[in-house]
């Protein structure tokens, strides 16, 4: 019981630190005044303008990020922003995440479960990880086909824009 209490406390600390790091993450990219012309004035009005650099700063905060990914015509800027989002929290948070998985697995095993997934599903409709896997296997083809047809529309839109590059994750909101 003392071990379980200690692990729950450790998990809480890791989760809180993880979330605080994400919430306090202050990364962004700079766009030139010329690049900013592609955006509505209402959008650029909310950006910080660095007078020394003569550039606008776009942060990873949602009020700036989501419209940026939808509006920005510059594929390289969308890619840069997407890569920054993927690094949010940094290497310390990646390690925290690994530690959280270990701690949750250990808690589940102390309580008699194989892993956290099994423990987490006990009071849910699916009940077991096997039920979840069966559900996914049963439905994957139907949803995969629908997803492929939606991706085909996006690929077509990108091709019509004149781009010769393959559709990437950072293109989805834009097209």
Q: Which of 8, 147, 171, 175 is nearest to 78 (CA)?
A: 171
CB atoms within 10 A of CB 68: 23
Query: What's the mean pLDDT in 134-141?
Result: 95
Q: What distance lies between CA 66 and its chain's CA centroid?
A: 12
| Separation CA 153–CA 175 (nearest Å) | 9
User: Quick one: pLDDT at residue 1?
Assistant: 85
- Asked whether the beta carbons of 168 and 151 are under 8 A apart, the reply is no
Q: Give 46-104 pLDDT, tens digit per residue.
A: 999 999 999 999 999 999 999 999 999 999 999 999 999 999 999 999 999 999 999 99
User: Quick one: pLDDT at residue 121?
Assistant: 96
pTM (2 decimals)?
0.82
| Separation CA 131–CA 121 (nearest Å) | 10
The rounded percent of the chain whose pLDDT value lies above 90 is: 98
């Amino acid at each position: 019981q003392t071990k379980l209490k200690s692990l729950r406390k450790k998990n809480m600390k890791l989760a809180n630190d993880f979330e605080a790091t994400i919430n306090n993450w202050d990364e962004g990219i700079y766009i030139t005044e010329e690049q900013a012309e592609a955006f509505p004035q209402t959008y650029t009005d909310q950006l910080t303008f660095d007078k020394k650099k003569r550039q606008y700063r776009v942060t990873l905060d949602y009020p700036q990020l989501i419209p940026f990914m939808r509006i920005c015509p510059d594929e390289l800027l969308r890619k840069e922003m997407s890569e920054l989002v993927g690094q949010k929290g940094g290497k310390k948070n990646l390690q925290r995440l690994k530690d959280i998985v270990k701690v949750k697995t250990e808690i589940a095993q102390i309580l008699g479960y194989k892993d956290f997934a099994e423990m987490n599903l006990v009071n849910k409709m699916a009940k077991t990880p096997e039920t979840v896997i069966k559900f996914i296997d049963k439905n994957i083809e139907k949803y995969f086909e629908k997803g492929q047809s939606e991706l085909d529309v996006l690929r077509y839109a990108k091709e019509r824009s004149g781009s010769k590059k393959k559709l990437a994750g950072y293109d989805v909101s834009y097209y």
